[in-house]
Amino acid sequence: MKIAVDAMGGDYAPQAVVEGAVQAAREYGVGIILVGIQETVEAELRKHPVAASLPIEIRNATQVVDMLDSPATVFRRKKDSSIRVANDLVKSGEAVAVISAGHTGAAMAASLFTLGPIEGVERPAIAVLMPTVRGTSLVLDMGANVDCKPIHLLQFAVMGDVFVKHLLKNPNPRVGLLSIGEEETKGNELTKEAFKLLTETSLNFIGNIEGRDVMMGKADVIVCDGFIGNVVLKTAEGVAGAISAILRENVGDNLMRKAGYLLMRPAFQALKTKMDYAEYGGAPLLGINGISIISHGRSSAHAIKNAIRVAMESSKSDVNRHIHHDIVQNMEMGKAK
């Protein structure tokens, strides 16, 4: 098994990407193809003497995607960019998955147009694991599709259900539709129609859930359009940052508070770890004919290592075959009714 990693993508590339790849190769024994400007990646790899004994290779890519590049420009004019070449490796079968912490839109477009969608899937979706009081919930779509149709939300639900079943080992995930009220009549036309479709599936659909339910773990799979999903994601990141800032400000120079903080430090550290996106590695782009993991732009080496782990687990679980099967099954069920 080999995984293609965009060595030039991310705020801390190539340093953090190469380091994370080395950690993954050493810990998991997985083959890594680092894609990027040859001399730049080689120089970074030489900083890790252990890499010489690991299954890591470099594939040259002469172009780098800029954050100001449009996805269309990257696909049409930067065919030798690290994002594009990494996806080409998956298409040719040289790698089973691609990982990039670079330009999200470009990474998504490169995977979609190079690998294509799974048969039966109309719109791929970015799926993000979010920490909750009961563990984690998978939320999708997180930004791939701003405008959706009810059938797209249905397919997001099916793909999320498959991911949670086979990677998180939850045999009967609770699927919730994000809306402005629990009642079936609440929401806009999109959610109302999607609600009807979801009730006709074999999914464990628990109905509408509200924004306050997301972090409470009321559902294992949470479905919404990409506009709402991205707002939820950025809001959660902001809340986590605000909590940390408020704690630091209130501890200040007060000795009693400092003492209390030291006593509570293990609990605060556990909370920080649980809220840290690096622990979850990256967000799979579900619904494409291959495995594509989109990592946070500020990914550290630890985050890249975990993204590689997610890619490995997705490949071993044969997620795409299950998605195709369940999409077809639920679509036929809907037609029958």
* 9 SS3 class: coil
The closest of 215, 206, 235, 208 to 130, measured between CA atoms, is: 215
The pLDDT of residue 272 is above 80: no
Residue 74 has pLDDT above 90, yes or no: no
| Mean predicted lDDT score pLDDT of the chain | 88
pLDDT at 275: 58
Q: Is the dihedral of CA 107, 109, 114, 116 positive or negative?
A: positive
List the single range of 17-31, 157-171, 233-247, 293-307 with lowest mean pLDDT.
Answer: 233-247
Top pLDDT among 161 and 275 is at: 161
C-beta separation of 117 from 25 below 8 A:
no
pLDDT digits (tens, 9 = 90+) for 108-154: 999 999 999 999 999 999 999 988 888 889 999 898 888 999 999 99
Answer whether residue 279 shows pLDDT above 70: no
Q: How many CA atoms lie within 13 A of 190 on its CB side?
A: 17
Share of the chain above pLDDT 90, in %: 60
- Look at residue 259 in the predicted model and tell me its pLDDT: 76
Please answer whether residues 8 and 102 qualify as being in contact, where contact means their C-beta atoms are separated by less than 8 angstroms. yes
Say yes or no to pLDDT of 225 above 90: yes
Q: What is the pLDDT, as a whole number, of residue 243?
A: 74
Range with the largest mean pLDDT of 75-84, 229-238, 301-310: 301-310
CB 292 within 8 A of CB 87: yes
Average pLDDT, stretch 238-263?
A: 73
- At position 15, the amino acid (one-letter code) is Q
Given a cut of 60, is residue 334 above it in pLDDT?
no
The per-residue pLDDT for 304 is 94
| Sequence-distant (≥ 6) Cβ neighbours of residue 317 within 8 angstroms | 166, 167
pLDDT for 240 equals: 73
Q: Give pLDDT, residue 337.
A: 47
- Exposure string of 197-232, with b = 16+ CB inside 10 Å and e = fewer, is bbeebebbbbbbbeeebbbebbbbbbbbbbebbbeb
For residues 329 and 161, which has the higher predicted lDDT (pLDDT)? 161
- Stretch 55-73: mean pLDDT: 89
Eight-state DSSP code of residue 211: G
Query: With 80 as the cut, is the pLDDT of residue 208 above it?
Result: yes
Characterize the bridge pairing of strands 291-294 and 283-286: antiparallel
Give mean pLDDT, residues 272-291.
77
Section 155-174 average pLDDT: 94
What's 180's DSSP letter? S
Residue 81 has pLDDT above 60, yes or no: yes
At what angle are helices 15-28 and 38-45 packed, to 10 degrees? 60
**Edge-to-edge strands, sheet with 283-286:** 56-60, 31-36, 2-6, 97-100, 291-294, 283-286, 125-126
pLDDT in tens, 42-56: 999 999 999 889 999
